[in-house]
Structure 1
């Protein structure tokens, strides 16, 4: 049993608030784990994916015997690591005679397993096996394009589920605005059959097209592989509703002195208070004002001088 501890400091409470489920999610982290037995191909696959997601991924190299995602009770260790590292996505690699080069991709909600997709890796090629101009190499942490080619991603349930998981795995943070000049990579997934998908990673090269939008060319930089769907498990309906819950839009506050007309459109009344110009302080004293003050002061001085003379004569 895992001991439940409560935060005793303000810093600890803030960390727990960051890890709590949110209606508007931030960037998701990925947990990469190894099974009891793995092959050289699978180790290379996990390493290459870790390099692609190095800014938001945690990789453990130790073998894990207790993790069996599709079996009852085999998810406890996986959920523990998810809670420990605060990761909502995971990759688990294992190798056996029945399922060679087996890769399990999944998502968690509130650090409980949400759904699972199991694929077999075939025809794998590493980044080092591709030759290309290193100037077009994608930058680490850049926002990618995601392209899904084939009707299977819309009609076949297994491929639809795989598409959702791959989108969450590689798309990074969700943004509203995007600068085309900063987009330098694309993940291309092609449905070859109802159970087989070709996955590749390409760099984007921008060229002149004679218009505002540049012409884009794809340069394959790797890794690339064939993903054969073996097993998948959809989320429970009650858990799905809870995870898909969104916040209601707040009602707009009524605008004062504003009305809408079908012909004139939006009409507003502006009320300006009475301006007391006589009491306003002038920011810059004008020359005329200064001259009037000098003349008044001179006149006032001459009156005082005349009154003094009258007093002395009397």
Structure 2
């Protein structure tokens, strides 16, 4: 029997609650790992990805010999690091004579490998190789705009798979409403062929257009690279079905004494307890009562005076 350890401190309980399933999931963290051997190009690519995902990425610079995603048993170390760092996306770089500048992008589900795709990095240009004004540089942690150009992203299975992985890698926190002035970066992915994608990172500048909606201008700020698809592995149907399940929202509490009408709309009943006016004790010296008594007495006196005058006149 495996022993289940429960957190005993407040900090430990908060960490466990952060990793628990939620109705609205937070942004996915990225795990960046090195293989047994990496080239200078791969090291630069992974460092650039780490800076682009700063605040939402964990990078290990130590070499890992036991990670082989496409081989049986080579996923154990990946799953261990994923559970340790609470990352649901991984980037693994390796370099060999057979597969130079090799990059594996993958996703995790419940700290188990869900799917991954293997690409080769070509024509890499780092951020330092672009000349632009520093004031237009995107801010760290800003929400990106992601653009996919090409029919291959809808027709070719490998490109469709790469599109899904890149969306999860770059989109960050899920947001329903955005301020247009806060969008300052864009990732442009262009399908050059059925197995090759050109990826570049641009800064967005807002310029006057003579209307309410400003004109957008893209300035390439790097990095940029060509991704050549080599191998990919899709999730099996049972795992995909389990991962695609969505939790139902909390049921709303039933409102008492409220009904809906087609004509009047929402109708509510208000409960008012019995006031018991007959048993209510009125104050002895009420001003309104005194005024009524005075008026009644004055009226009686006037009537009495008229009656006595009539008698005298008759006599």
Secondary structure of 2:128's counterpart equals helix
Distance 2:258 2:269 in 1: 6
Aligned residues: 281
Aligned match of 2:44: 44
Q: Which ranges in structure 1 are unaligned for 5 or more consecutive residues?
A: 280-288, 290-314
Distance 1:205 1:276 in 2: 72
CA positional deviation for 1:19:
2.3
Q: Does 1:115 align with 2:115?
A: yes
Deviations 1:117-172 (A, max 9, x none): 10010111000000111100001111111111111111111111111111111111
TM norm structure 2: 0.82
CA positional deviation for 1:248:
2.0
CA positional deviation for 1:252:
4.2
Aligned match of 1:217: 217
Secondary structure of 1:54's counterpart equals coil
Deviations 1:233-263 (A, max 9, x none): 0112111111111112444444444443444
Distance 1:169 1:36 in 2: 24
CA positional deviation for 1:272:
6.2
Q: Does 1:235 align with 2:218?
A: no
TM norm structure 1: 0.82
Secondary structure of 2:190's counterpart equals strand
C-alpha contact 1:20 1:110 (8 A) present in aligned 2? no
Aligned match of 2:307: none
C-alpha contact 1:109 1:243 (8 A) present in aligned 2? yes
Secondary structure of 2:240's counterpart equals helix
C-alpha contact 1:21 1:110 (8 A) present in aligned 2? no
Distance 1:264 1:21 in 2: 42
Deviations 1:160-194 (A, max 9, x none): 11111111111111012211111111111111111
C-alpha contact 1:23 1:245 (8 A) present in aligned 2? no
Aligned match of 1:198: 198
CA distance 1:213–1:268, shift in 2 (3 Å)? farther
Aligned-CA RMSD value: 2.6
CA positional deviation for 1:268:
4.2
